[in-house]
Amino acid sequence: MTRPGVERWHDRLALVTGASVGIGAAVARALVQQGLKVVGCTRTVGNIEELAAECKSAGYPGTLIPYRCDLSNEEDLLSVFSALRSASTMPAWAGLTPFSQLEGDAQCERAGLSICTREAYQSMKDMSGHRVVPQFVTHFYSATKYAVTALTEGLRQELHDKDPEKAAATYEHIKCLQPEDVAEAVIYFLSTPPHVQIGDIQMRPTEQVT
């Protein structure tokens, strides 16, 4: 069922990175359900091809287009936007998890997202309702400082209880957020009127204390 307010996005193009699994896949599916044309990017497109077939079989009004892209590779990213050049929205969920790929993760999350944003802006700048402050040096500096804040706060929370088993047990019975919960928030974001700007959405399980 189409969410009221999302009609203005019908047949518009959305680029979803990390669309093969998890939150990215859930967001891609939700956007297709709402009638958008979605380009799903990932390094391996097999899962997206399966998801595209599921969406088509379900009769969703939108379309999911698989596109192979490594977000840590600038040439791959430029090829995506060279083929598109008309993206209206860009939910980005790509990431790597193994510690051995920490450097690749940083490249993917920071440089990859930055290049995607730069290229997406070129196709969004003539649309009303979008505002980008062209002070990239400040943005990058702030991002590096916030990374330090996030790391130290995460460490503080991990070390708050010195008994790892006791700390883990605290979360055993908590109903965690699901990818579909985050996808629903994305649809809410798109359903708001053009004069509404959402700067931040904080989501956590109801039972989570910190």
Provide the strand spans (E) within the chain: 13-17, 37-42, 63-68, 87-89
What kind and span of H or E run contains 203? none
φ, ψ for residue 14, nearest 5 deg: -120, 135
Scanning the structure block, which residue is given the tokens 């204390």?
A: 209
Instruction: Indicate which residue of 141, 146, 171, 188 is catalytic.
Output: 141
Burial 79-102 (b: 16+ CB within 10 A, else e): ebbeebeebbbbbbbbbbeeeeee
**Of the candidates 87, 75, 111, 91, which has an alpha carbon nearest to the alpha carbon of residue 18?**
91
Query: Residues 122, 84: contact at Cβ < 8 Å?
Result: no
Return d(Cα 41, Cα 104) in angstroms, integer.
17
Q: How many CB atoms lie within 10 A of CB 145?
A: 10
From the list 29, 47, 41, 36, the residue with the least C-alpha distance to 6 is 36
- Is residue 146 among the annotated active site residues? no
What are the residue numbers of the active site?
141
